Structure 1
């Protein structure tokens, strides 16, 4: 597997020559499909992003082939559900990675097919590794497509984001009542991916994610906690506050861990070891709402770049 920086750089230079693409396109596409594709040196990922862009940019049939593979994936006649879920997750990861590597709005005309892939995957139900990949795909779509393009997908994003956070809140409550606060690694990875979508939606400029502005009150309050009524005195509380309340019944955090910069991502780590690792994010949102210190030096381009850097780390972690 060409996973070193040197070999990836050589392949990247070869793909510059589109007139001989027949000599390398099939092999490189199969390399992208390899189960161990993301087992590479971090320095090689930048080269593979270029390779993937060159591979797909001049041959839409390859992207269509990938869409077909995602929608028609089966675990095999004698395979277990776990094998099927793993295969589906791998294909969804390659779909989002391909979109991540290519130009803005390059796959706009395929949005209905991309939506079909996500919807079909979500129908699988209790498959956290698949849900994780769907939310990763949501985040890439928001960064790589214009709001008008992904508008048909937004109701699904919103519904899944809200539903999974409600489930997270209820799971925390249930775990506490059972005096058991452990989550499996796959469940932790799923809730991390869900939380990252919320984090991204909160920091992006309104024009990049306009539909979220209408619904953000469901997730975070406009006012700091000291200006909000007690939970018992209001009929509705934001989900971040409800999740924070479940956390804080067990452990409170130091003040400095709650502060965040509104236009920079708070969750940048590719994985978590415990559900406690998400507490600062939700407790900070609950306490300060949208009134976090804004770093005037962080531009819109910098915000997007920080999100892209976080995605780079995440792809390398997803093995």
Structure 2
């Protein structure tokens, strides 16, 4: 593991390149081969977070996180989970801000209203998000997909944070008597639900190319790149229901035409797919340079 400081690389592109190389070194090693370097890795990550990160750097950071999940045993990642979860939350909040900002701009700007009205006949109006930010949102989503793909017993610490990202109780279909409702109770919406609601509000319900698909499986994401944020909509839509447990008085949820196995029984297949996805992302980023 290279021990040179990221301070030797002043530009964000060079820092991202160094982080990618370090991640590839860990990925090329054996399980727990580099776990003794985790304090140094954590120090470098914390340093970059403290001074601020560009989308390019943050995207490589999430790829590094995926490598750590595959190459470091769960018991060695205890101190890193708060960092990984915090950065994932920050990125999803940034995505929500991008969607809300675009929506607010469209409502308050006469020009935007005219453009939206003119484009209605040609289809939905897509949010203009820079490609670097799209790459970041895809990378963050892949990290969440990786963490969720592991069987719960293989990733026990993440189960403490899962509720913040995906809904685990089907509150909408629960026929709970009014007397059982807590007065002035505010429901905590997981980030996946918030993002999906904002996407639907902005774009409507986007039909997917695989609308006839009756079964999906983890890992859900195998996209190498995206050109518009709505390409992540099927991912967030699936996560919005797959982990839900039926509550008291629940009724069947409508229009769920995709069956997703969880927890996955074939863990060997899941780990193989996760490895192939990470390898493909390394090769993709290297070939683009």
Instruction: Place the TM-score, normalised by the shorter chain, in its bin.
Output: 0.7 to 0.9
Deviates more, 1:268-277 or 1:115-124: 115-124
- Distance (Å, rounded) in 2 between the aligned partners of 1:238 and 1:259: 25
Q: In the alignment, is the contact (CA less than 8 A) between 2:152 and 2:263 conserved in 1?
A: no
Deviation at residue 254 of structure 1 after TM alignment? 4.0
Aligned counterpart for 1:251 among listed residues 201, 204, 208: 204
TM-score of the pair, normalised by structure 1: 0.70
Partner SS state of residue 163, structure 2 = helix
Give CA deviations for 1:128-166 in whole Å, capped at 9, x if unaligned.
100011111111001100111111111101111112111
Q: In the alignment, is the contact (CA less than 8 A) between 2:151 and 2:264 conserved in 1?
A: no
Aligned to 1:238: 190
- The answer to whether the aligner puts 1:74 opposite 2:9 as a matched pair is yes
Aligned length: 243
- Distance (Å, rounded) in 1 between the aligned partners of 2:164 and 2:216: 20
- Larger RCO, structure (CA 8 Å, separation 6 or more): 2
Deviation at residue 202 of structure 1 after TM alignment? 1.1
- Distance (Å, rounded) in 2 between the aligned partners of 1:247 and 1:228: 24
Structure 1, unaligned stretches of length 5 or more?
Answer: 1-62, 76-83
Aligned to 1:294: 261
- Structure 1 stretches of at least 4 aligned residues deviating more than 6 Å after TM superposition: none
Aligned to 1:155: 82
RMSD of equivalent CA atoms: 2.5
Aligned to 2:134: 188
Deviation at residue 178 of structure 1 after TM alignment? 2.0
Q: In the alignment, is the contact (CA less than 8 A) between 2:66 and 2:278 conserved in 1?
A: no
- Distance (Å, rounded) in 1 between the aligned partners of 2:3 and 2:223: 29
- Distance (Å, rounded) in 2 between the aligned partners of 1:165 and 1:205: 23
- The answer to whether the aligner puts 1:106 opposite 2:5 as a matched pair is no
Aligned to 1:134: 61
Q: In the alignment, is the contact (CA less than 8 A) between 1:220 and 1:286 conserved in 2?
A: yes
- Distance (Å, rounded) in 1 between the aligned partners of 2:73 and 2:282: 23
TM-score of the pair, normalised by structure 2: 0.77
- The answer to whether the aligner puts 1:209 opposite 2:155 as a matched pair is yes
Structure 2, unaligned stretches of length 5 or more?
Answer: 107-125, 176-183, 246-258
- Which one has the bigger helix percentage? 1
Pair 1:281–1:118, CA change in 2 (3 A): same
